[in-house]
Structure 1
């Protein structure tokens, strides 16, 4: 089977992609008429025909309604005063700068890295990091649509529908392929209704569905192609918990669009596992950072976090509630998890001004079953502000919206604390004894703090910035939930800092150190989430609030908006 997965030659040159609109149209799903003409390429292997070696006796159907009436998530902007002309002009100018930044990166990708996964923004080369399936093209689709770049959108669609899901690699990252490729294609279809996109989403969905064909129907971290074909895939015994539990939003939407319940059945089994084990762990209410997906025993792991390796497990709880039309177990799991997070992982930093901000740390449960909090912050965990806000709105928990605001503002405070105006990847903070304000203690600062950093910081343990979106994500969501213009001003400050520190001749690059005062060192990396998340959130926060309303869409963890059922 090695030959089956050899990388095909590059299908399009830049010029060839421009003229692919005029190629032949083939059969499209649901017999819908195409909106444009594309050459549609199907992969060599038909994953939809792969027999299940561990079939299920009964398929759980995707909820079909009638759906409960959901509480409003988004602020009632219609009842608020219309921004004056000066404000409207300011927002228009900001959108223009964001779009120019996007186009600079996009045009360089087209010129130097077309159909590679990523552009190296300093050296001007393409590289493949996710199987060579044009991750940047797929991730950029819905942002192109939102920005009104329709010619570029259909150029990208023409390229996307030629992906054959074949690669020189022997396996793919199940989680990353789900959130980027499946999520990106479904979102672009929901926005444009271009049927070729749904057909391509079904193809990758069927490939990913093969990952659930294990003895206990739990997916693996790595989806090995040959093992999938042979029916010998096994889930892992020490998997990052987010990676094997965060495909619910995408597979639910795929089931809704296709009417095929198998996709929902697959992820519902994972959700049922989470519900069964939530109160069996060493920190009841939360799931550990790593999970044994073979034994399904989570009772012995001792580390818990909302940051890297576990983040989207929690993020998807309120989002699954919304996209399923209100399945109760997701509210129950959210409430249980956040009760534990609020009690054990939230902390207030000790700062000279007693700033009213909060952060989440990491907990290790010791031999005496005592939870020990480590007051490190991660850029990744800045999504928590938006998650608290969304849960607070959907489940009518006003205190959670307040907590969400304090976490979002805490992330903004960290951005403002460094010379570049950007948050590091990982940093440590001094801690107040409780979630209430505490007086500044200069002696503790001298003993534990880093004198090179702003007072309140113990360190900047990983000073990199990787073009991450999580801070602007929460700032955007809190703006849409509260209507407060201050979040737009925070966002603009963040955007200017990011642009100044990361811009290269071609695009934007991750940087090695946010603590420097001069020129930043570029790492020659620009992950596709620069297009799908970071720049999208900046575009949306300065756009009309009815563009991707939070009452109509759920954004997956890669910021791909998927329509909610009505």
Structure 2
């Protein structure tokens, strides 16, 4: 009986070739699922057509019912908008997976792309062992990489999966590459060549790719080596890139009268100007397709070819078929590559050739002049890229791409003219700034904070965590105010809301424990699981203190036991490499090569969590400390690099850059010192002390503000970017908590990082990003900037910086404005930037929501982050800010808890939102571990009496773990 195969996107270019290959084999019955049925469709007893959209899960399930194999080919062409890629390639692929599992489809072959490795760097005969990069230079490649990872992670006994990565598909029926070349020829641009044509490229004949899909379907079987694997599919014969279009021109008798060779770097500049021209047309409301871009320049100029040894070894007879247009595969001899077609028409002066070429085209000089003006505005008003590295990671959290986010900031800022430059200081609205860049305190705050018994200094010349610690008066002395204070305490204690948050904790924990434990995180929309940080059970370790505070002791004990059992099983071996949103699937440990630790996450999540457990559970102390020490000894190995006082790297050894973030090499003080205190092993404390000494000894351009990025070999650059954002905030917070007097300047940000937006934005202060090279400040804030308000409140008490309380309050107001301006009031975007008055006049956000003008959204996701909850808990417990009778701060938090419950709750837990500015946007199937570990913990404490999690008894680490004083 023939096997039933369903092909999504079967009416497209590649889909038709795949169907043709299947029809040639009598052992298949084929169903084509596409959004349209072509006019030349000819259904037969073995071939039928179904109209359907992969975004409709119900329709997908109906279509998939009764089939054995799915070939998932459907994907938008390259010129589609980014949002379309995200919806179809990611959400659509998830629907395909769900439909397969629901309807008993046993084999799934996904058409991925070789561009999943496209991060702008050359790729020379690379194979599948190269990990998917964390940063992409185009949305298509990124979404393909995410979808591929989803498919491979779905591999199981019920559904065997694999992914094929073709490169540069061409052939009859091509709707992209060949028509693109034809369009270039019609415009007379075939006389241009970018680069010297030395870069080899894998052009792949479409029949080879289609044949590989059939082979993969045959090979997937229980126990097969193909299961859960990705395969590059090419002709196995890379050629110089420009040989292919030249052969195409020769095929249709087109001859270039002369050739103009454009230098790679010149082409990059032209690509940027072309992108600006496209943007201008879009801003003027004109239709503008993406044309010549910097991505395409890199694409055609670099080596980009792949090894297919794995496909030949695992897929049967995978050497491919003979391409009918075999002459297109033959390389042109090197000595002929740059020869003109008609030598007599080549000028002796290349620059003059370019001028003559463009002079013949009407209006081109006017366009170039406009582009030059745009280039100047880009240089003048937008933050330059970081000097340290072109490939660094940064963003809304530690694992998101810095380059990606900064480039998005530049693009969005271009869309809205310009963003406000360095802060405009209003002497009447801010405090005086001293020589060291500190802000002097206002009289009203002095009167509040310097009352007897409400403030104490917590510093020493050489502070060590393992020394016997004294309990310092960090928290407000509620008992010192008599009957009046009793009323305030009642106002603070909201039993109804506290119970509501407790129920949220129970719901989130039950969904994770029953469906995902001991994996890292729950997929709350589908009830699945995913590993994002080594697969060690990050939600397990982060939830335990939250469960304990909420009085859910049975759940806490179950979590402890499962965590320790899981540690015993994996022995701190990395089963998942650290990735952006868990997108890279690392090699199995069965390969014999273990990935390196993510130093930051391993320290703050796992080591900190275990030490918190060890302190709170004397019965398990020995067992937990043993596991903690084993992990710490692995972490110590990273200090054997060129600079022994900082970790050499914070991720896998295959990453092709050497820069590390400030947070990743400095957020270790509390955990290492606490471990030495509990084990009486000075090794870890000494490392922490050496690390602190290293940072204290640096000669910085701005004392107290450290670079976001470090080179482990050479240290910080003389010019750098500083911020309190995702890649640096935890560093400052950690050193504030140590109380080391040498680091009092660590967060001296008033002169350089604080900006004061126009009244139109409705906020007070913005904690931005400062570039020391150009002495400019970009007023943008991410979630970590809101978390910094809690850090400032604590530092105000520890270091006597009373003015920081006011800054913390002002930052809170800014964050709250973001929360209120979304389509889900109470839930804010991950990252925003602020505008000057001129650029915000008459402009409104293009989607739904009540956001007032004055700022733009850079990263619209809401990812269940703790945000300002930590500050709100600190603010009350330190100085009673915002929760006095008649105040509305608690109401704001009530509103947030209701918003999470209403918009994020699922059957299994709570899910992130893809776009808080659009109420129709889909949910993300992810519940990060910090939701239980921090967000719900701080919400619970906000509505609890002040003696629950008292700041006089506990220190809350950057990851929300509780350390006893």
Calculate the TM-score normalised by the size of structure 1. Answer: 0.77
Cα distance per residue 1:194-243 (max 9 Å; x no partner): 3133332222222222222334322133366xx9xxxxx99974111111
- Kindly indicate whether residue 744 of structure 2 is the aligned counterpart of residue 349 of structure 1: no
- Give distance in 2, aligned partners of 1:202 and 1:555: 21
SS of 1:342's partner is coil
SS of 1:265's partner is helix
Is the 2:720–2:772 Cα contact (8 Å) retained in structure 1?
yes
- Kindly indicate whether residue 511 of structure 2 is the aligned counterpart of residue 108 of structure 1: yes
Cα distance per residue 1:350-380 (max 9 Å; x no partner): 234865x3220111123xxx41010111112
- Give distance in 2, aligned partners of 1:64 and 1:253: 7
Structure 1 residues 90 and 393, CA gap change in structure 2 (3 angstroms): closer
SS of 2:776's partner is strand
Structure 1 residues 131 and 184, CA gap change in structure 2 (3 angstroms): same
- Kindly indicate whether residue 712 of structure 2 is the aligned counterpart of residue 293 of structure 1: yes
Aligned to 1:128: 531
List aligned pairs for 1:503-522, cutoff 5 A: 503-516=905-918, 518-522=919-923
Is the 1:235–1:293 Cα contact (8 Å) retained in structure 2?
no
Structure 1 residues 391 and 202, CA gap change in structure 2 (3 angstroms): same
- Give distance in 1, aligned partners of 2:902 and 2:688: 42
Is the 1:430–1:449 Cα contact (8 Å) retained in structure 2?
no
Is the 2:821–2:852 Cα contact (8 Å) retained in structure 1?
no
- Give distance in 1, aligned partners of 2:891 and 2:492: 14
Is the 1:554–1:563 Cα contact (8 Å) retained in structure 2?
yes
Cα distance per residue 1:447-487 (max 9 Å; x no partner): 67747663343311111011111221222211221224143
- Give distance in 1, aligned partners of 2:821 and 2:485: 33
Counterpart selection for 1:496 from 898, 901, 920: 898
Aligned to 2:47: none
Cα distance per residue 1:52-111 (max 9 Å; x no partner): xxxxxxxx99555466774x2211222343555995797111111111111111111111
Moved more, 391-400 or 206-215: 206-215
1:113 positional shift: 0.7
Structure 1 residues 68 and 542, CA gap change in structure 2 (3 angstroms): closer
Cα distance per residue 1:93-150 (max 9 Å; x no partner): 1111111111111111111112101111111111111111111111111111111111
Counterpart selection for 2:951 from 550, 560, 563: 550
Aligned to 1:144: 547
Aligned to 1:423: 828
- Give distance in 2, aligned partners of 1:223 and 1:348: 37
Moved more, 408-417 or 141-150: 408-417
1:259 positional shift: 0.9
Aligned to 2:720: 302
SS of 1:172's partner is coil
Is the 2:492–2:944 Cα contact (8 Å) retained in structure 1?
no
Is the 1:382–1:470 Cα contact (8 Å) retained in structure 2?
yes
Aligned to 1:337: 746
Structure 1 residues 211 and 64, CA gap change in structure 2 (3 angstroms): same
Q: How many residues are aligned here?
A: 470
List aligned pairs for 1:112-511, cutoff 5 A: 112-162=515-565, 163=567, 164-169=571-576, 170-193=595-618, 194-195=620-621, 196-217=623-644, 218-222=646-650, 237-277=658-698, 279-281=699-701, 283-296=702-715, 298-321=716-739, 330-334=740-744, 336-339=745-748, 341-352=749-760, 355=763, 357-366=764-773, 370-421=774-825, 422-430=827-835, 443-446=838-841, 450=845, 454-484=851-881, 485=883, 486=887, 487-511=889-913
SS of 2:759's partner is coil
SS of 1:461's partner is strand
RMSD: 2.8
- Give distance in 2, aligned partners of 1:407 and 1:294: 36
Is the 2:760–2:854 Cα contact (8 Å) retained in structure 1?
no
Structure possessing the higher relative contact order (Cα contacts under 8 Å, 6 or more residues apart): 1
Structure 1 residues 373 and 111, CA gap change in structure 2 (3 angstroms): same
- Give distance in 2, aligned partners of 1:185 and 1:108: 23
Structure 1 residues 451 and 524, CA gap change in structure 2 (3 angstroms): closer
1:317 positional shift: 1.6
Aligned to 1:11: none
Moved more, 493-502 or 110-119: 493-502
- Give distance in 1, aligned partners of 2:477 and 2:799: 18
Aligned to 2:941: 540
Is the 1:112–1:124 Cα contact (8 Å) retained in structure 2?
yes
Calculate the TM-score normalised by the size of structure 2. Answer: 0.46
SS of 2:685's partner is helix
Structure 1 residues 206 and 284, CA gap change in structure 2 (3 angstroms): same
Is the 1:62–1:261 Cα contact (8 Å) retained in structure 2?
no
Structure 1 residues 157 and 67, CA gap change in structure 2 (3 angstroms): closer
SS of 1:304's partner is strand
Is the 1:188–1:197 Cα contact (8 Å) retained in structure 2?
yes
- Give distance in 2, aligned partners of 1:235 and 1:395: 40
Structure 1 residues 111 and 288, CA gap change in structure 2 (3 angstroms): same
- Give distance in 2, aligned partners of 1:198 and 1:121: 32
- Give distance in 1, aligned partners of 2:804 and 2:531: 40
- Give distance in 2, aligned partners of 1:428 and 1:555: 29
Query: Which residues of structure 2 form unaligned runs of 5+?
Result: 1-461, 577-594
Query: Which residues of structure 1 form unaligned runs of 5+?
Result: 1-59, 228-232, 322-329, 432-440
Structure 1 residues 513 and 102, CA gap change in structure 2 (3 angstroms): same
SS of 1:470's partner is coil
Structure of greater Rg: 2
